[in-house]
């Protein structure tokens, strides 16, 4: 196997080192390319660019494989739970019983936010998007917890990690309570992570709210399935912001904002809105699919389909489709959205347009249907994705700050503007 790749440019040849990953992926190390040839690479959207070496998550998009620290997502969804999987992502190994117990206890005892954080919410308009609130409050944590911002002090980093994982569900639930004008519910230490989140979302001081164990387990699995996805848009954003040595809270706040967009974490909201819109027109989906295929308007896509990396099925979508049937059965929900989604999936998977472009259901196609059946409003969907993705973001930030090869992230460009010209006085323009 070659350990260099040769390129020829303007009559000059250059050998570039080849880097191989543990699962056989091949990269060409271009770190010296500009120095030795004067040229750079151009790769809009970074689809062919490896930004780092990482030992956290492996994806084989052609085979539909996703593994956290080597362990298949199917096994984790079946046998693990979110906080254990978070530790796996953060530490690299499944934790021993005692370490897991200690971690879970730290998370439980950090779930309250500083009382003054609550007053922030009063300043936000009631109709504010919860992701905007979430990003703002996560960023503001660095003002309240300035005692744990030194990224070179492992103990401070550990405290910040506990604070973030523990407080994010509280921050998210408060944004929901604020939007509907209900009192904020304090966390309950006798509940597990997902059950406590459901309690803070749906309980009121007026009566007891009993969290259904199966629903809590489903919520936990949804968090787990979202926990990492290697160098996706938001994780790359966290790494990029963190590369300037910005603190963990600031870096994670940037990740929240990156996740908000409909092409990334906002897609499950877009899926439910699309399904509702199709149902409202009385169409069974074929008219809508025609519009998608004819690119009838900019941005008309079959939301929840397609993925930058998966060119075969998304393994998370398979697990979520099964969960979707179980949850709707459990909550006795009517199933028009699910029925339509299944129908659309069947039509699309037989259609040449989707086959030739290798477009399959992604993680968002079924997750939104589950969440709306649980009574979660659509604009809250990306905030739940945020809770799930948090351990992955932190693992990437942590891996980066300890990586001796990590540098300030600063891409270059091919300039296409005017070449040098003179300033023209305002009267002469």
- Residue from 364, 379, 396, 398 carrying the catalytic annotation: 364
Q: How far is the CB of 385 from ligand ACO (least distance, A)?
A: 7
256 binds ligand ACO (CB under 6 A): no
Kindly state whether residue 46 participates in binding ligand ACO, applying the rule CB under 6 A: no
Segment interacting with ligand ACO, rule: CB under 6 A, options 67-75, 118-126, 159-167, 355-363 = 355-363
Question: Does 357 interact with ligand ACO (rule: CB under 6 A)?
Answer: yes
State yes or no: residue 306 binds ligand ACO (CB under 6 A).
yes
Q: Is 59 in the site for ligand ACO (CB under 6 A)?
A: no
CA atoms within 13 A on the CB side of 348: 29
Is 364 noted as a catalytic residue in this protein? Answer: yes
Q: Which of 89, 201, 240, 267 forms a contact with ligand ACO (CB under 6 A)?
A: 267
Are 274 and 303 within 8 A, CB to CB?
yes
Binding of residue 292 to ligand ACO (CB under 6 A): yes
* Residue in 131, 392, 394, 369 with CA at minimum distance from that of residue 260: 131
Per DSSP (E only), the strands in 160-230 are: none
Among 188, 217, 276, 301, binds ligand ACO (CB under 6 A): 301
Answer for which of 220, 228, 345, 364 binds ligand ACO (CB under 6 A) is 364
C-alpha closest to that of 265 among 151, 120, 130:
130
Phi, psi of 138 (to 5 degrees): -60, -45
Catalytic residue from among 110, 129, 178, 307: 307
CA angle (136 as vertex; 131, 140 as ends), nearest 5: 145
Please select the residue that binds ligand ACO; options are 81, 129, 178, 307, rule is CB under 6 A. 307
318 lines the binding site for ligand ACO (CB under 6 A): no
Report d(CA 56, CA 140) in Å as an integer.
Answer: 28
Q: Rounded to whole angstroms, how far apart are CA atoms 242 and 5?
A: 31
CB of 302 to ligand ACO, least distance (A): 4
Task: Examine residue 304 and tell whether it contacts ligand ACO (CB under 6 A).
Answer: yes
Name the segment binding ligand ACO (CB under 6 A); options: 29-37, 317-325, 336-344, 356-364. 356-364
Q: How far is the CB of 277 from ligand ACO (least distance, A)?
A: 15
Q: Is 264 in the site for ligand ACO (CB under 6 A)?
A: yes
First to last CA, the chain: 61
Q: Does 363 bind ligand ACO (CB under 6 A)?
A: yes
Cβ-count burial 48-87 (b if 16+ within 10 Å, e if not)? eebbbebebbbbbbeebbbbbbebebeebbeebbbbbbbb
Ordered DSSP codes for 354-422? HHHTT--B-THHHHHHHHHHTT--GGGHHHHHHHHHHHHHHHHHHHHHT-TT-----------S--S--
CB of 158 to ligand ACO, least distance (A): 28
For the CB of residue 305, give the shortest distance to ligand ACO in the complex, in Å: 4
Part of the chain binding ligand ACO (CB under 6 A), chosen from 122-130, 192-200, 295-303, 326-334: 295-303
Cβ burial 402-419 (10 Å sphere, 16+ → b, else e): eeeebeebeeeeeeeeee
What is the Cα–Cα distance from 302 to 292, expressed in whole angstroms?
Answer: 6
Q: Could you say which of 218, 362, 372, 383 contacts ligand ACO (CB under 6 A)?
A: 362
316 is a site residue for ligand ACO (CB under 6 A): no
Q: Which residues are catalytic?
A: 307, 364
Residues that bind ligand ACO (CB under 6 A): 263-264, 267, 292, 301-308, 357, 359, 362-364
């Amino acid at each position: 196997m070659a350990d260099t790749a040769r390129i020829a440019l303007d009559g000059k040849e250059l050998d570039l080192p080849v880097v191989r990953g543990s699962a056989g992926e091949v990269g060409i190390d271009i770190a010296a390319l500009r120095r030795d040839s004067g040229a750079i690479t151009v790769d809009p959207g970074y689809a062919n660019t490896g930004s780092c070496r990482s030992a956290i998550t492996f994806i084989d998009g052609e085979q539909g494989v996703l593994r956290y620290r080597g362990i298949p997502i199917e096994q984790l969804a079946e046998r693990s739970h979110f906080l254990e999987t978070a530790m796996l992502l953060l530490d690299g190994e499944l934790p021993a019983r005692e370490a897991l117990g200690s971690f879970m206890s730290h998370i439980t005892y950090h779930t309250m936010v500083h009382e003054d954080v609550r007053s922030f919410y009063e300043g936000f308009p009631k109709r504010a998007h919860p992701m905007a609130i979430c990003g703002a409050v996560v960023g503001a944590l660095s003002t309240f917890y300035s005692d744990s911002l030194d990224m070179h002090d492992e103990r401070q980093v550990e405290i910040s990690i506990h604070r973030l994982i523990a407080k994010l569900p509280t921050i998210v639930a408060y944004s929901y309570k604020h939007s509907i004008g209900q009192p904020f519910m304090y966390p309950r230490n006798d509940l597990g992570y997902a059950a406590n989140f459901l309690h803070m979302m749906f309980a009121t001081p007026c009566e007891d709210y009993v969290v259904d164990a199966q629903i809590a387990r489903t919520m936990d699995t949804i968090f787990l399935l979202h926990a990492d996805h290697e160098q996706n848009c938001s994780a790359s954003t966290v790494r990029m912001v963190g590369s300037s040595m910005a603190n963990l809270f600031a870096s994670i706040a940037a990740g929240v904002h990156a996740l908000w967009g409909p092409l990334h974490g906002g897609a499950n909201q877009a899926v439910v809105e699309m399904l509702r819109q199709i149902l409202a027109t009385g169409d069974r989906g074929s008219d809508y699919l025609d519009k998608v295929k004819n690119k009838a308007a900019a941005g008309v896509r079959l939301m929840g389909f397609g993925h930058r990396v998966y060119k075969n099925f998304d393994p998370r979508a398979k697990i979520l489709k099964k969960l979707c049937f179980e949850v709707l059965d459990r909550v006795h929900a009517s199933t028009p959205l699910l029925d339509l989604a299944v129908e659309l999936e069947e039509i699309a998977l037989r259609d040449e347009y989707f086959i030739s472009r290798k477009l399959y259901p992604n993680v968002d196609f079924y997750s939104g249907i589950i969440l709306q059946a649980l009574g979660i409003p659509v604009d809250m969907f990306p905030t739940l994705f945020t809770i799930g993705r948090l351990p992955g973001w932190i693992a990437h930030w942590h891996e980066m700050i300890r990586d001796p090869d990590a540098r300030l992230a600063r891409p270059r460009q091919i300039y296409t503007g005017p070449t040098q010209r003179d300033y023209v006085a305002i009267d002469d323009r």
